[in-house]
């Protein structure tokens, strides 16, 4: 099902478990998919070089117990404006505001909020500024500016070259246009995944399609540029109040960097290390990620189930 606008442009991929929605949300074009009708809502937020499609294997595993929403962030995938509206705010602040509008529009809140990769700042902002709308936060292979993310741009000390490149206006489009498939197959996924065969030819084709659209680099540029500029702001936001909701930090390659970063901004942090898994956890180990999430969410949604009543109190 597609609401308001047809989403089949350029033969976008789908899975049978989801319905597609494309609407104006807070003045921005936003595409999302939904699955499941029962249980507390889970909002999934992708990173780079991804779209909602990064969660194609995770969504069905969660939808049996939860209402699941997976978005294309503004300026990504099906959320790209094709009418010349390319001066919009694609920063983490802009993305967080749009997600909050979606939560309100769909009357979802409070949600279990998952963010991965460069979406870390976006989901942290949403959780810190609107804790009433976030039941829990699941951080997957991500960092927050002011608490370690900037180090990823320091190539002299092992940082990733693409951070600075995408933060520079026009560079992403100039470098990757017409080369995205080759970049993904020869450079990105071979270096950042550990589970052989987890990323399929269909995945590559869908990400190549999504990032070959006109305007496809506005979203990535906005998030990376803001990430290198908002460290002081996010440190101040974290200092004003630590995150009050439970946090699940999931790490794969590179050690417990997500857990360490989350402990700097929240007290109730539970850490999971998925050995043998690379950076793209939802694609490489959807069963293991779903298992960790479902147990974490169950304990939040049904706390009484873990409480044994003392017979003397009866």
Domains of the chain: 19-301 (3.40.50.1820)
Q: pTM (2 decimals)?
A: 0.93
User: What's the pLDDT tens digit per position in 124-149?
Assistant: 999 999 999 999 999 999 999 999 89
Model confidence at 68: pLDDT above 90: yes
Q: Are 137 and 42 a contacting pair, CB within 8 Å?
A: no
Q: Are 260 and 32 a contacting pair, CB within 8 Å?
A: no
Contacts of 13 (CB under 8 A, 6+ apart): 53, 56, 202, 205, 206, 209
DSSP state of 168: S
| Mean pLDDT value across residues 63-69 | 98
Helices vs strands, H then E, count in the chain: 13, 9
| Mean pLDDT value across residues 176-187 | 95
Range with lowest mean pLDDT among 36-40, 73-77, 196-200, 295-299? 36-40
Model confidence at 292: pLDDT above 60: yes
SS3 string of 131-162?
HHHEEEEEEECCCCCCCCHHHHHCHHHCCCHH
pLDDT of residue 311: 42
| Mean pLDDT value across residues 180-206 | 97
DSSP for 191-246 reads: HH--STT-S-HHHHHHHHHHTTSTTTTHHHHHHHHHHTT-HHHHHHHHHH--B-S-
Sign of the dihedral defined by the CA atoms of residues 184, 185, 188, 189, in that order: positive
pLDDT of residue 83: 65
Where residue 287 falls among pLDDT bands split at 50, 70, 90?
Answer: very high
Distance CA 64, CA 175 (A): 41
In which element (H, E) is residue 30 found? strand 28-35
Look at phi and psi of residue 144 and say left if phi exceeds 0, alpha if psi is from -120 to 50, else beta: beta
Where residue 255 falls among pLDDT bands split at 50, 70, 90?
Answer: confident
Where residue 87 falls among pLDDT bands split at 50, 70, 90?
Answer: low
Across all residues in the chain, what is the average pLDDT?
A: 92
């Amino acid at each position: 099902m597609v609401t308001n606008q047809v989403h089949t442009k350029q033969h976008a991929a789908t899975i049978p478990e989801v319905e597609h929605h494309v609407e104006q949300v807070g003045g921005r074009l936003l595409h999302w998919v939904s699955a499941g009708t029962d249980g507390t809502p889970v909002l999934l937020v992708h990173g780079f070089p991804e779209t909602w499609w990064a969660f194609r294997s995770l969504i069905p595993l969660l939808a049996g117990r939860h209402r699941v929403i997976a978005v294309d962030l503004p300026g990504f995938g099906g959320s790209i404006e094709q009418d010349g509206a390319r001066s919009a705010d694609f920063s983490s602040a802009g993305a967080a505001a749009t997600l909050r509008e979606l939560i309100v529009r769909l009357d979802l809140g409070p949600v279990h909020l998952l963010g991965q990769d460069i979406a870390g700042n976006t989901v942290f902002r949403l959780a810190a500024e609107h804790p009433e709308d976030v039941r829990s936060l699941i951080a997957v292979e991500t960092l927050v500016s002011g608490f370690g993310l900037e180090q990823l741009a320091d190539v002299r000390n092992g940082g990733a070259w693409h951070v600075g490149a995408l933060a520079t206006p026009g560079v992403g489009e100039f470098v990757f246009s017409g080369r995205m498939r080759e970049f993904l197959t020869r450079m990105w996924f071979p270096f950042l995944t550990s589970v052989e065969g987890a990323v399929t030819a269909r995945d590559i084709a869908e990400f190549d399609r999504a990032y070959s659209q006109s305007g496809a680099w506005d979203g990535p540029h906005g998030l990376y540029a803001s990430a290198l500029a908002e460290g002081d702001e996010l440190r101040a936001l974290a200092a004003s109040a630590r995150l009050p909701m439970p946090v699940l930090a999931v790490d794969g390659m590179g050690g417990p960097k997500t857990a360490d970063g989350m402990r700097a901004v929240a007290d109730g942090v539970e850490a999971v290390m998925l050995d043998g898994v690379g950076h793209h956890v939802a694609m490489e180990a959807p069963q293991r990620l779903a298992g960790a999430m479902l147990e974490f969410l169950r304990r939040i949604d049904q706390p009484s189930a873990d409480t044994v009543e003392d017979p003397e109190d009866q």
